[in-house]
Structure 1
Amino acid sequence: MPEQKSLRHLWREWRSFVLFAICLLFFRTGIADWNVVPTGSMNPTILEGDRILVDRLAYDAKLPLTDITLARLGEPRRNDVVVFASPRNGTRLVKRLVGLPGDVVELRDNRLLINGRAAGYEPLSDAELGQLGWQPDAGRQLLTETIDGRSHPIAIGRNDGYRYRSFGPVRVPAGHYLMLGDNRDNSADSRFFGFVPRALLIGRSDTVVASLDPEHYYLPRGGRFWHPLP
């Protein structure tokens, strides 16, 4: 029939594209993905407009297009930059993992204590500030935070009245994690939505693939292509 011939012809024309789209969809939902970061909650580590690579096999292998876990492949580590679904509304978020199951976590005036041990804090040097590609406003301070020998930059405000600068001590439940943004006074994180269950973890990000600056006509940011995340 003419209609069947037309459908077969259409399939022959579009078959390669359809198969490619299906393979790409399975790849992005099961193996690796990239996310555009629209907010500054992870400044200065991740900037608005960064495109981050997400390793979806870092922790669990999941059935593509679903949240069904097939196998546990690795354990989240403290200081990982983690992409996960918000426990509150399912929105995809990226934050830093600071509390593992069983940890006792406390925040005192934006300084972390984990299991009774204080994290280390040092001002960033001029050279380190120049490498970040991000300058804080007058009301914000940049520091290097060191936990378990791993360091990364954070931004904290100078407003002592901010109510979420301190919390705890709290114990992280089994199978859950405590997440904070590196931009401590400008991040909706576990201080707002609580602990994150492992089932909501999507993957880990170690790299900025590319970056477009939304404040400068989305021009590419030099130095942030395949930029490693601390």
Structure 2
Amino acid sequence: MKRWFRNNRGFLVFVLVFGLFRTAVADWNPIPSGSMRPTVLEGDLVLVNRLAYDLKLPLSNVILHRTGEPLRGDIVTFASPKDGTRLIKRLVAVPGDVVEMRNEELIINGRTAHYQPLQQLTETVAANVALPALRLQESGALPPHRVQWLAGVNARSSFGPITIPPGQYMMLGDNRDDSADSRYFGLVPRNLLIGRAVGVIASADITGNWMPRWERFASDFH
């Protein structure tokens, strides 16, 4: 065994350093669900900057040093406060914000978001289940980005107002009627934030034929 370790120590050091890099500096997340449609798609491989907000002790949620502040509109990966599952959502409210939603319309600190319709289409949400969908540009309360509303879904399209306490953040999926987010599992404490998603590395159509989506390779979120 000692001889094996001696013969392979270079490889073992590489694996250790690579593992620490992924847990402390940068990581990549495969996207399994459509909760962030149309911004992030199932089958996207997303690059995550783990140093965007905090330097953490590797393999833990212990914050060693704050490196930046989470901002409204950031696309964030985090551990679910409900069960620890790694999720990706849009950060919509920071500590001190007063946030509410009325019939799908987001209101932050008294400012109602603006919605510009972009596209009507049909979205497949489950096997043999397709629903009418409307894609819109959401702006004003948050930096401009696209969201999606689905018809005929019993989602929490109204809530609040809620005042965000210190050290907590509200997350919503861009696919507003098909996303398990802060409306269901509550606010997310800062120590559960993993990092800010910065773009798509690669993408494949996992809902169809697994063909590469070449147009999404090395792309930012738009």
TM-score by length of 1: 0.89
* Equivalent in the alignment of 1:121: 115
CA contact (8 A) 1:42 1:181 kept: yes
Q: Helix, strand or coil for the counterpart of 1:223?
A: helix
- Asked whether 1:81 is paired with 2:75, we answer yes
- Percentage of identical aligned residues: 50
- The CA deviation at 1:148 is 4.9
Residues 11-90 of structure 1 mapped to structure 2, 5 A cutoff: 11-90=5-84
Q: Distance in 2 between matches of 1:149 and 1:110?
A: 14
Q: Helix, strand or coil for the counterpart of 1:18?
A: helix
CA contact (8 A) 1:79 1:147 kept: no
* Equivalent in the alignment of 1:157: 150
Q: Distance in 2 between matches of 1:30 and 1:162?
A: 39
Q: Helix, strand or coil for the counterpart of 1:26?
A: helix
- The CA deviation at 1:36 is 0.5
TM-score by length of 2: 0.92
* Rg comparison, structure with higher value: 1
- The CA deviation at 1:11 is 2.5
Q: Distance in 2 between matches of 1:180 and 1:154?
A: 10
Long gaps (5+) in structure 1: 1-5
Q: Distance in 1 between matches of 2:155 and 2:44?
A: 29
Q: Distance in 2 between matches of 1:147 and 1:194?
A: 24
Q: Which digits, 9 at most, give the CA deviation of each residue in 1:181-216, with x for residues without a partner? A: 000000000000111111110000020110111133
Q: Distance in 2 between matches of 1:204 and 1:147?
A: 21
Q: What amino acid maps onto 1:140 in structure 2?
A: A
Partner of residue 219 from structure 1, selected from 199, 211, 220: 211
How many residues get paired? Answer: 216
Computed over aligned residues only, the root mean square deviation of the Cα atoms, in angstroms, reads: 1.8
The 1:44–1:225 alpha-carbon spacing in structure 2 relative to 1, beyond 3 Å, is same
Q: Distance in 2 between matches of 1:147 and 1:87?
A: 29
Long gaps (5+) in structure 2: 124-129
* Equivalent in the alignment of 2:164: 172
Q: Which digits, 9 at most, give the CA deviation of each residue in 1:49-88, with x for residues without a partner? A: 1100010000000011221111001000000000001010
Moved >3 Å (runs of 4+) = 134-138
Q: Helix, strand or coil for the counterpart of 1:213?
A: coil
- Asked whether 1:209 is paired with 2:209, we answer no
CA contact (8 A) 2:42 2:207 kept: no
**Higher fraction of helix:** 1
Partner of residue 92 from structure 2, selected from 92, 98, 101: 98
* Equivalent in the alignment of 2:2: 7
